[in-house]
Structures are given as structure tokens and as C-alpha cells.
Amino acid sequence: MLARRQWLFAMAALLPILAIFAWVRFYPIEETLRMSLHEWNLISKTRPFIGFANFQELFGDELFLTALFNTTVIAFGTLAITIPVGMGIAALINYRLGSRLAGVFETTTFIPYIVPLVPAAMAWKWIFDARLGPLNAFLSLFGISPLSWLFDPVLSVICVIVLCAWQAIGYAVLIYVVGFRNLPTNVFEAAKLDGASGLQAFWHVAVPLLRPITLYVSVVTLISGFNVYAQAYVLASDAQGAPGRQVRVLVLDMLENSFRNYRVGYAASEAVILLAIVLLLTLVQFSLLRERGAR
């Protein structure tokens, strides 16, 4: 009887939330899956079912493959910078935990993560500017001739990676600082007694113990890396009269196919690919953790 009353209360309280979720999450996700099997040009009344034709076309579509490639490079590139730098800086901050400055360091590294992206990207755009930017001015001090950061196909991708990493590092530092703080101190002391130096203890004790944190930060960084859009939009957008190389990324290609090429179904199939990647990454994270838990 009591259980039944509680169940009724729970359902009554949950129902509105369930309705909202169904409305703004379940249904649109289902629509994406459904539309990926259809052809629709945004303005016509009919939406013929075309099976997997969109997906077939995707894998012969060079713009999509470029976007997929760029996005993957950006995601893993960001990861490659974020993890070591984040872990290193967090270790140093952790070492100086007693200092008055620790809080300042932590907060400062975090600011890039919270500032709105567009103004931040604007700042980076100027830094990378081939003719006016301080980066080339700085490099010229070492006799390096100016590089065209935002125009070169390889360099422009690197620029996006730097911007993404700049934002992601603060988050990684924060999580790692918590991780370091939660490491059992006696393990370090034991290592020290065995004659290990601070650096050795860091490498052989802390890094392995932090594996779950590293895994978590990696997956979060990768997933947000695969969703990169605003960074590329501002840094390398195709504004009229403002030449610069467009770094084609998945979300950009998706929006362009939907709202510029009027191929909503085709864009939905791109979204499904993106979804598959994200699910795969999450799956990898869980299975690695489970494996570790089983041991």
C-alpha cells in the first residue's frame, strides 16, 4: 500500500520531466535516425525513403571524408596536448598546494574554459594572422620567416587544435588536481622509502594510479573534439572578402548540407556517423574501466 502510494507520487512527479525529455531529446534523436534514411530538401512536401543510400554516398563524398579526417585529427590532436600538459600542470599545482598561489594558478588556467568562445577565437585569429599577428612576430625573433597559419591546409588545422587545447587544458587541470589529491599519500612515501625520486614516483606511481581519471578526461576531450564547430567557424570561416582556409569539420559540413545545400536527410546520416563515433568512444571507456575493475 505504502509502496503503491510512493510509486504514484514518483510517477506523478516524473511524468512532466519524462514528457519534456520525450519532447526535446528522445523524439529529435529518433527523428535524426529516421531522417538519415530519407531524402528531404527542406522545402519540398515529400520525403521519399531511400534506405542506406545516404550512407553509401557519404563514404564516397570527399568533403565529408575531409571533414571526418579533420575532425578526427583535431580531436586526437587536442587530446595529445591536453592530457600531458593538464597532468603536468596539475602535478605542479598539487606540489605547491600549500602555497597561497595554488588557488590563483588553478583559477587562471581555468579561465579559458569559461570565456565565451567567439571572443576568445577572435583573439587567436589575430595571434595567428600572417601579417599582423604576434605569433609570427615572435617567431621572427628566432629568424623564422612568417608562416601563413590560417591559410596552409596543415597549419590551419593545427591552429584549431591549439585553440581547442587552450580551452580544454583548464578542465583537465581541474580534474587532475582532484585526482592527485585523492591519491593515497602512503603509496608515495613507500616509493620514496624505496629510493625513488619525485619524478620517478610521479611516473611509476601517480601516472598508473591516475589511469581512470586519464581515461575519463580523454573521452570527454575526444567527444567534445568531435563536436568542434564554433572554433573552426570563427578561426577559419569563409567570410566574403576575407580569404582564409576553411577547416571543414563534421558539424560544419552537417549544417552546410542541411541549410545551404538543402539536404536534411543527408546531414542526418552524417549526424548518425557522429553518434556512432561518440557511442564507440563511450563504450571503449566503459569496457576499459570494467576490465580494470575485474582485475
Partner 1 sequence: MTVVPTEAETRPLVAEPSAPRRPFSALNLVIDIVLLLFCVLMLLPLLFLISNAFKTPQEILAWPPTLIPHDPIVSNFTAVLTTTPLLRWIGNSALFATLSTICIVATSSVGGYIFAKFKFRSLHAIFILFLATAIVPFEIYMIPLYFQAQQLHILNSIWGLLLGYMVMGFGIFLIRQNVEQTIPDELLDAARIDGANELAIFVLIVLPLLRGALAALAVLAFFQAWTAFAWPLIVGTTKDSYTIEVGLALFQTGFTIDLGRLSAASTIVLVPSVVLFAILRRNFVRGITATGLKE
Partner 2 sequence: MSREHKSERPAGITRTAIFGATLGVALLGSSVSVLADQITVWSGYPEMAPFYQHVAEGLKAQFPDLTVDVEAIGLRDHEKRVALGISSQNAADVIELATSSATRYMQEDLLQHPPADVASYVQDPANFDKYFSDAASYNGQVYGAPLFRGQSALYYNTDMFKAAGLTEPPKTMDDYTKYAAKLAQRDANGNLTVSGWSMRLSGGGQGIAEKFWINMFQYGGNIVVQQPDGKWKMTLATPEGHKNLAQYIQVVHGDKSDTIEAPADSDAFERGQTAMFIRESWVIGDIAKKAPDLKYATSTLPMGSIVSPVNLFVGSDQHSAEAWAFIKAATSPENQLWMLENVGWLPNRANLDYTEILKKTPQFAAFVQLPKDYKFFQLPNIGPADEFLTRVAAKLTDDFADASLLNNDAGIDAALKSASDDGAAVLDRAGILAK
Per the listing, cell 614516483 goes with 201
Mask for 73-112, x = binds partner 1 (CB under 8 A)? ----------------x--xx-xxxxxxxxxxxxxxxxxx
Residue 152 CB, nearest approach to partner 1 (Å): 20
Q: Is the separation of the CB atoms in 111 and 173 below 8 Å?
A: no
Which does residue 227 bind out of partner 1, partner 2, none, counting CB within 5 to 8 angstroms by kind? partner 1
236-295 binders of partner 1 (CB under 8 A): 237, 239-242, 251, 254-255, 258-259, 264, 267-268, 271-272, 274-275, 278-279, 282, 286, 289
What is each CA distance from 157 to 9, 52, 71, in whole angstroms?
Answer: 53, 31, 9
Q: Which amino acid is at 4?
A: R
CB atoms within 10 A of CB 174: 19
Q: Counting beta carbons within 10 angstroms of the beta carbon of residue 112, is it exposed (0 to 12), middle (13 to 18) or buried (19 or more)?
A: middle
240 binds partner 2 (CB under 8 A): yes
The closest of 115, 118, 126 to 171, measured between CA atoms, is: 115
Q: How far is the CB of 277 from partner 2 (least distance, A)?
A: 23
Name all contacts of 41-44 with Cβ < 8 Å and 24+ positions apart.
Answer: 41/262, 41/263, 41/264, 42/258, 42/259, 42/262, 42/264, 43/262
Closer CB to partner 2, 3 or 43, in the complex: 43
Which residues between 60 and 79 bind partner 2 (CB under 8 A)? 62-63, 66
Residue 158 within binding range of partner 2, rule CB under 8 A = no
Helices 101-114 and 153-181 cross at an angle (nearest 10°) of 140
**Span of 21-29, 115-123, 203-211, 256-264 interacting with partner 2 by CB under 8 A:** 256-264
Contacts of partner 1 in 150-169 (CB under 8 A): 166, 169
* Residue 124 near which of partner 2, partner 1, none (CB within 5-8 Å, type-dependent): partner 1
- Angle at which helix 211-226 crosses helix 62-95, to 10 degrees, equals 140
- Options 18, 20, 29, 42; binder of partner 2; rule CB under 8 A: 42
Q: Helix (H, G, I), strand (E, B), or coil: what is residue 228?
A: coil
Q: Which amino acid is at 271?
A: A
Show the binding pattern over residues 170-189: x = contacts partner 1 (CB under 8 A), - = does not: xx--xx-xx--xx-------
Which of 126, 189, 203, 207 binds partner 1 (CB under 8 A)? It is: 126
Q: Considering beta carbons, is residue 16 or 195 the nearer one to partner 1? A: 16
Contacts (CB under 8 A) with partner 2, residues 109-138: 130-131
| Residue 42: DSSP 8-state | S
- Residue from 51, 239, 291, 293 touching partner 2 (CB under 8 A): that is 239
Residue 151 touches which member of partner 1, partner 2, none, C-beta under 5-8 Å by kind: partner 2
Burial class (CB in 10 A: 0-12, 13-18, 19+), 26: exposed
Q: Which residues contact partner 2 (rule: CB under 8 A)?
A: 41-44, 62-63, 66, 130-131, 145-148, 151-153, 237-246, 255-256, 259-262
